[in-house]
Structure 1
């Protein structure tokens, strides 16, 4: 895809961003066509941030209907949105964030889409979908050089997982012109440093119980952050039940999560008695907590900007938001 030159209006609107990451990166963003699957609490935060960055187009794919709960937590919805198509109802406020971006809605189910549909984008951001569909999308993305990042929020826990394939990037580094130290008055120059990161296929990362995938490579790796196993348990819960854990089924859902967690531990040969991933953590994984959506939405949008602009080093390949300490952790899995 050829990059689009910025108009005078765009150059003025994105002036601060151009000063931050340069005209070349902004032009790459201006040429980017983004597909966002899921426009719920997390999706609305992602949409906000990537719209403000100045992409070319955003397609919102979501077949959901606005509920009272969704109306409360999604700032892109209005008071009269109840029981209407959520992908259509967010358009007015989303467009107001940046009138220069082309925004469209698609109210089909992601499952109903022919896989060729996913070929037509620069990058896909996926939330709230099952693993089998995600892996199919990842396969088509790899064949067509489309970048992919997914993520979800469960209560106060959140994660993102990226497959940017063979991703080349550059970053600006300040270096001394001579051998003097900074405080000795040496001249400083900024140089462009290039690098490449190789991302694994998602089917080498999302290895879950009751599948034919081989987890040996991950089991042999260094000790994993325990939140990685929480992520897998929650993803497998959605695969099994077709929904996220619900507070209205709290007791039954916690029991199911405990069983799934134990299956994950068995698969990865984790000693549960030495793990901090205890039953208590399942009390705080219900719903989408708005501040966590804001944090994770900012992280995912920033990774989208890095992936499209090729500026700065992206996360390789998992980001985990700690539900207890509210710290962000990075993990590299499947490499």
Structure 2
């Protein structure tokens, strides 16, 4: 499927459960290289949830999460070059990201998502950019492929297609009242939580049900500003996102699998890509694709 794209390089920041599923999938697919960045130490939570960390302290003592995951991924496919880069990705220069064909970041702040996406877009070459987040039973993928050309089968013919993707910052700046009425409620809810964490100076996932009053106040402000009814963001959904700060393995498997397929499609240039958000909620078992762009 990858043909001459087997030498593609992938960069992945923050090795949470969803991204571990994704990394396993693309390593097994036989991509050229994968680079991991995550300087956090191995914790009890990571040990219990991360299948790439073996329950032997001698194997992970003194190592970062990225280093431990790197060792395990190499065993899945020795033909793929898996490496680790240390440091804060927000300090990496634009040229650093030019070494890769795809950049995937997870569990990053709102400001960091915007910054890394901007750096990828400044490059003369197209670098596929993805953000992925799972909160409890819900998951989200964002995709930016810039000006993307690809081919797909239509009846008995192969047709050439082209799509223009907006940046993450431009996408979330689209006024809510300009969006279709049936946009996923999860889109709005994730933006509220994201902005709450940003305003409070929290890292992603550093919220709890105790933050619900503040989150509801922010929801009210955002809905009034955007002329959207608060019923678009149900209390129950926000509660689930606040309670579910840890990842739910079945959701991680689904999101990680879809992300792997999308990245491989984007690099190979074959098949319709996801544009530009994907949402999954285990409560109803539905996956939704939402094209959120400035109205033309």
- Tell me the TM-score normalised to structure 2 length: 0.89
- Match of 2:133? 152
- Equivalent residues of 1:41, 1:73 under 8 A apart: yes
2:177 equivalent among 216, 219, 228? 219
- Equivalent residues of 2:136, 2:244 under 8 A apart: yes
- Match of 1:322? 281
- Match of 2:47? 71
**Structure 2 CA distance for partners of 1:267 and 1:303, relative to 1, 3 Å:** farther
SS in 2 for 1:298: helix
- Match of 1:262? 220
- Match of 2:172? 206
> Which 4+ residue blocks in structure 1 deviate beyond 4 angstroms?
none
**Structure 2 CA distance for partners of 1:280 and 1:168, relative to 1, 3 Å:** closer
Name the stretch that deviates more: 104-113 or 278-287: 278-287
- Match of 1:85? 64
Instruction: Report the alpha carbon displacement of residue 136 of structure 1 after superposing the two structures with TM.
Output: 1.9
Instruction: Report the alpha carbon displacement of residue 36 of structure 1 after superposing the two structures with TM.
Output: 0.4
Instruction: Report the alpha carbon displacement of residue 281 of structure 1 after superposing the two structures with TM.
Output: 4.3
- Equivalent residues of 1:119, 1:141 under 8 A apart: yes
1:242 equivalent to 2:202? Answer yes
1:196 equivalent to 2:154? Answer no
- Match of 1:57? 33
1:26 equivalent to 2:7? Answer no
Question: What is the CA–CA distance in structure 1 between the aligned matches of 2:131 and 2:233, rounded to whole Å?
Answer: 25
Question: What is the CA–CA distance in structure 2 between the aligned matches of 1:196 and 1:235, rounded to whole Å?
Answer: 31
Instruction: Report the alpha carbon displacement of residue 279 of structure 1 after superposing the two structures with TM.
Output: 3.7
- Equivalent residues of 2:184, 2:290 under 8 A apart: yes
1:251 equivalent to 2:209? Answer yes
Task: Give the root-mean-square deviation of aligned CA atoms.
Answer: 1.9
1:164 equivalent to 2:127? Answer no
**Structure 2 CA distance for partners of 1:299 and 1:143, relative to 1, 3 Å:** same
**Structure 2 CA distance for partners of 1:83 and 1:42, relative to 1, 3 Å:** farther
- Match of 1:275? 232
- Match of 1:184? none
Question: What is the CA–CA distance in structure 2 between the aligned matches of 1:289 and 1:76, rounded to whole Å?
Answer: 16
User: For this pair of structures, how many residues does the alignment match?
Assistant: 285
- Equivalent residues of 1:67, 1:82 under 8 A apart: no
1:115 equivalent among 94, 111, 116? 94
- Match of 2:254? 295
SS in 1 for 2:162: strand
Question: What is the CA–CA distance in structure 1 between the aligned matches of 2:261 and 2:82, rounded to whole Å?
Answer: 19
- Tell me the TM-score normalised to structure 1 length: 0.79
Q: Radius of gyration: which is bigger?
A: 1
**Structure 2 CA distance for partners of 1:121 and 1:233, relative to 1, 3 Å:** same
Question: What is the CA–CA distance in structure 1 between the aligned matches of 2:170 and 2:217, rounded to whole Å?
Answer: 23
- Structure 2 unaligned blocks of 5 or more: none
Question: What is the CA–CA distance in structure 1 between the aligned matches of 2:236 and 2:159, rounded to whole Å?
Answer: 46
